[in-house]
Amino acid sequence: MLARDLAQTFPTVTLDTEALDAARMLTENRLPGLIVLDEHGHPYTVLPGSQVLRFVVPTYVQDDPALARAYDEKSADQLCAKLVSRQVRDVLPKRKDVLDLPIVAPDATAIEVAAQMAGMHSPIVAVVDGSALLGAITVSGLLAHLLDIGPTS
Amino acid sequence: MTTWLVVAAFVAAYVLIATERIHRVAAALAGAAAMVILGVVDAHTAFFSEETGVDWNVIFLLLGMMIIVSVIKQTGVFEYLAIWSAKRARGRPFAVMVMLIVITAVASALLDNVTTVLLIAPVTLLVCDRLGVPPIPFLLAEVMASNIGGTATLIGDPPNIIIASKSGLTFNDFVFNLAPIVIVLLAVFVLICRVMFRSALIYDPERVAAVMELDEREVISDKRLLIQCGVVLTLVMIGFIGHSVFHLEPSIVALLGAGALVAVSRTEPHEFLEDVEWPTLVFFMGLFVMVGALVEVGVMADIGNWLTDSVGDKYFLAGSGLIWGSAALSGIVDNIPYVATMAPIVNDLVQAGGGSEQANALWWALALGADLGGNATAVGASANVVVIGIAARNGHKISFWHFTKYGLIVTFVTITISWGYFWLRYFAFA
C-alpha cells in the first residue's frame, strides 16, 4: 500500500493558533501530534504531543528531574497555565531542524513512511503532493497496516 | 632554532586555546604533538618526568574528585539545601540570595566549581520562578560566589591543584593562607550584590506561599546514599587536612575516597565514569606536555632567571604584578593554561628567595589573581560559560557585556582587597 492510500484527513493548526486550543485538539481527538501549516497553508512542521509537554515542563526541571518531586500537587496541576496567551509558534522547538519536515510523497511505500517516522522521531508523517497536503499517517495507522498484512502469531 | 620552533608551536597552540578557534582539547593535543615532532618530548619526558611530563597528581586528583561528585550529585543534597534555605529565608529575595551565595561558595571550596553551579542553577531557577523575581542576578551572584569560594582550598579550583602540585604546598597551607581572605571577600561580595542587584530584590508577600509549598525532603532520592556520601566526604576532607601527616598525596586521598564511595554505594562503573570530564583531563595532559617542552628547552629557566634578577628581593612588587596581571589575563584566557605556564616561573622565583615566607607568598598572589580574575568576564572561568548556557536554555539571555559589567566590578573590588591582604599579611605584619 502506498502513502496516498494510508493517508487520512488530519486536523491541522497554523503557527498563529492558540497553543491552548492546539493542546485541546490533541487531547479531544487523542492525536499523537498535529500538522502545522504556514501562512500559505503549506505544511510547515509537525507538533508532537511530547513537545507540548516539553514546553510546559520548565527546562530546569528537565535538566534536574529531582526538582519535579519538590512540587506540590496543586502547583503541578497548574503547569498548563503556561500555554495561556501563547501560540503554536511559541511552543515549537527553537531548533534549526524545525524546518526539516516529516513528509512523504503520495507514492511512498510503507517502509519509506516507517523510515521517515523512525529517522525523524515523529509520531506522524504528512503526505504531500507538491505543496498540497493530502493527509497524514500516524504511527498507530502505519503499524495497524503492517500488522494486518504481517505475521499472524 | 629548535627552541624558537618550540616557542612558536606553544604560542600557536595557546592562541588557539584562548580564541577557541578549535576545541581546546584539540589545540592542546596538537601543541603536544608538535613538541613530539620537534624532538623535544619523548615517552620518558612526557609520562615519567616530574619536571617536564604530565603531572599525574593533578590528573588523578581531578579524576578522584569527579567520581566522588558523580555519586554525591545523585543524592539531591544540593537541591535540598537550596530549597531549604529559600524557605528559611521566608522567601525574602536578598536573604535567599545570601543563602545561595554561601551554599555555592562552601560547596565550591569542597567540589569543583562547574559541578557546583550545574547543581545549584536549576534549583535557583525554580526558586526565582516561584518568587516571581528575575533569576539572572541570582545566577550571576552564584557563579561569582563559586569562583570566590573555590579560591579557598587546594581542591576548590583547578589552578590551585596545579599550584599545589608544583609548589608542594599542603591542603592546610591553602586553607590557612587563602580561606581567611575568601571569607572577607564573600562578606564584601554580599554587600556588592545588595547594591548591584537591588532592583531585582523585590519582596512580594503573595509569592512567598509558592516557595513555602515546595517540599525539600522530596528531592532527597536516597537517604542511605546521602549518609554514605557524607561519611566518605568527611573522611576525604580529613585525608586532605592530614595528608602531610599520613604521607598521602591529595591525589591518592581523592582516589581512595572515590573507590570507597563507589564500593559502599555499589555504583556501577558506567554510572560514575560517564560523569568524568574526560576532555578536561586530556586537555590537562596536553597542556603539561606543552609546558614541559618549554622547560626542556630551557625557555622557562631563562624567563625564571631573568625575572629572578629583575625582582631581586622586591617580592611585594613581584606579588603585586602577579595578582593584578593574573587577574587581567585570567579574565581574557582560561586560567588553567595560564597557571600551568606560570607555575614553573613562580617556582623559580620562590626557590631563588630560599623559600622565605615573602617569596612563598608569590604562590598566593598567583592563586588569588588567577582564581578571582575568572569573574571578570563571561569567558573568564568555565563555570561562567556553564551558567550562561543554563540561563539561555531557560529563556534568560546573559550577554557577554551583561556579565562583564558586573564581573569587572566584582573582580576589581575582590582583587583590590586581596592585594591589601597580600601586603598586610606577608609584608606589613610579616
Write the pLDDT tens digit of every residue in A24-49: 988 888 888 888 888 888 888 888 88
Residue B132 pLDDT:
87
Residue A96 pLDDT:
47
Taking all residues of chain A, what is their mean pLDDT, rounded to a whole number?
Answer: 84
Residue A100 pLDDT:
67
| Phi, psi for B146 (deg, rounded to 5) | -65, -45
Q: How many domains does chain A have?
A: 1
- Taking each continuous run of H as one helix and of E as one strand, the counts in chain A are 8, 6
- Identify the DSSP state of A33: E
Task: Name chain A contacts of B214, Cβ cutoff 8 Å.
Answer: 70-72
Give the CB-side neighbour count of residue A35, counting CA atoms within 13 A.
25
State how far the Cα of B45 lies from the Cα of B43, in Å rounded to an integer: 6
State the nearest Cα–Cα gap between A110 and chain B, in angstroms: 37
In whole angstroms, what separates CA A96 from the centre of its chain? 17
Q: What angle do CA A102, A105, A111 make, to 5 degrees?
A: 75
- Which of B381, B386, B331, B374 is closest to B120 using CA atoms? B386
Characterize B199-214 residue by residue with b for buried, 16 or more Cβ atoms within 10 angstroms of its Cβ, and e for exposed.
Answer: ebbeeeeebbebbeeb
State how far the Cα of B83 lies from the Cα of B81, in Å rounded to an integer: 6
- Provide the CATH number for the domain around residue A125: 3.10.580.10
Lowest-confidence range among A63-72, A90-99, B177-186? A90-99
Residue A97 pLDDT:
52
- In which order are the strands placed within the sheet that holds A124-129? A103-104, A124-129, A132-138
C-alpha cell at B193: 550584590
Show the low-confidence residues of chain B (pLDDT under 50): none
Q: Is the pLDDT of residue A116 over 80?
A: yes
Cβ pair B163, B339 in contact under 8 A: yes
- Count the neighbouring beta carbons within 10 Å of the beta carbon of residue A42: 14
Task: Name chain A contacts of B83, Cβ cutoff 8 Å.
Answer: 70
Mutate to test the interface with B, among A55, A59, A60 (most CBs of B within 10 A): A60
Q: How many residue pairs bridge chain A and chain B with CB atoms within 8 Å of each other?
A: 53
The 3-state DSSP class for residue A53 equals helix
Q: Is A74 on the interface with B (CB under 8 A)?
A: yes
Residue B137 pLDDT:
96
State how far the Cα of B145 lies from the Cα of B186, in Å rounded to an integer: 7
State how far the Cα of A11 lies from the Cα of A138, in Å rounded to an integer: 12
Q: Is A28 on the interface with B (CB under 8 A)?
A: no
Residue B143 pLDDT:
96
- For the entire predicted model, the pTM comes to 0.82
Domain that holds residue A13: 3-149
Task: Name chain B contacts of A61, Cβ cutoff 8 Å.
Answer: 122, 126
Q: Strands A124-129 and A33-37: what pairing?
A: unpaired
For residue A59, give the chain B residue with the closest CA.
Answer: B394
- Which of A124, A152, A153 is closest to A140 using CA atoms? A124
Residue B52 pLDDT:
84
For residue A105, count CB atoms less than 10 angstroms from its CB and return exposed for 0-12, middle for 13-18, buried for 19 or more.
Answer: middle
Q: B352-368: per-residue pLDDT in tens?
A: 888 788 899 999 999 99
- Which of B70, B67, B74, B36 is closest to B52 using CA atoms? B36
Q: Is A72 on the interface with B (CB under 8 A)?
A: yes
The 3-state DSSP class for residue A13 equals strand
Q: Is the pLDDT of residue A2 over 50?
A: yes
Beta-carbon separation of A58 and B129 below 8 A: yes
Beta-carbon separation of B210 and A67 below 8 A: no
Beta-carbon separation of A72 and B221 below 8 A: no
Q: What is the mean pLDDT of residues A136-151?
A: 84
Task: Name chain B contacts of A57, Cβ cutoff 8 Å.
Answer: none
For residue B82, give the chain A residue with the closest CA.
Answer: A67
Task: Name chain B contacts of A67, Cβ cutoff 8 Å.
Answer: 79, 122-123, 126, 219
Cβ pair B163, B343 in contact under 8 A: yes
